[in-house]
Chain A
Amino acid sequence: MWEANGPHEASRQGRAVRPSCFAVSAVGPARRVGDPASAGTMTDMADHSVLIWSDYI
């Protein structure tokens, strides 16, 4: 819904400014959350089935 550097970056690049709209997409097998590649990070929490990244604004 809110893009990082959204209107600013889009405007700078001359792209149309509009809300993001995405479909469901699979995380590539090499970057599955919880894989050893992400061990030690905040998402290395096997008991959490839903993670939500968010900001307040």
Chain B
Amino acid sequence: MEWLPFDLHPEYPPEGIPRAELQALYGKGFHDSVRELVEQAGFTYNPPPDVVPNSRRALEATELARDEGLHQPVHDRLMQAYWSEARDIGDEATLLDLVAEVGLDRDNVRAALADRRYAERVDASTREANELGVHAIPAFVLGRRLVVLGAQPHEVFQQAFTQLEEENQWQPSSS
């Protein structure tokens, strides 16, 4: 299983946008339904109340982590920080604190962000997803054959895996 970066909102300013702006567009009911889904899954729903961050630097720092064999802990730490601990992962100082907690060198991350070392990788990944028709996330590509867009119920994935098995396309990896 491999996580790939997708820059969902490149149009956001570096400081992010007010959460109230997003809530006004989606409506409160949408956020309540997301909260319900998250809590049903056993997680704490507590994103930053005032801001929706620009995630670009977080995505680029995660690619550095990938190269250093730390993708999973960094990815998990940033997800937890944003969704459950109300941390603004778009704020560089906050981001550096978080990735340093799980083993990345703060100065190296700061330098990589400054010289945009991983910008092209994030762009290329997002472009490739777009070319596959991915415009919503999370987006799953199963067995290099089927795309599942969005957070779907178990039944959808079961259907997809069944379809792949029937087509002899599904070859589970050990990861």
A residues sitting closer than 8 Å to B (CB atoms) are 1-8, 11, 17-27, 31-34, 38, 41-43, 45-57
Contact = CB atoms under 8 A, between A and B. Distances in A.
25 contacts: A2-B136, A4-B137, A7-B22, A7-B26, A11-B25, A21-B150, A22-B149, A24-B159, A24-B160, A26-B147, A27-B146, A42-B124, A46-B144, A50-B1, A50-B140, A50-B142, A51-B4, A52-B3, A52-B140, A53-B4, A54-B137, A54-B138, A54-B139, A55-B5, A55-B137
Contacts of A18: 30
Contacts of A52: 1-4, 138-141
Given A33-B132, A55-B6, A57-B9, A27 B141 contact: yes
B99 interface: no
Contacts of A34: 144
A1 to B, nearest CB: 4
Contact of A43 (B128, B130, B146, B156): B128
Nearest to B167: A26
Contacts, number: 164
B49 to A, nearest CB: 14
B20 interface: no
Contacts of A1: 136-138, 150-151
B26 A55 contact: no
Contact of B147 (A2, A3, A17, A25): A25
A11 to B, nearest CB: 6
Given A48-B175, A56-B58, A43 B4 contact: yes
Nearest to A27: B147
B151 A56 contact: no
B43 to A, nearest CB: 14
Nearest to B22: A7
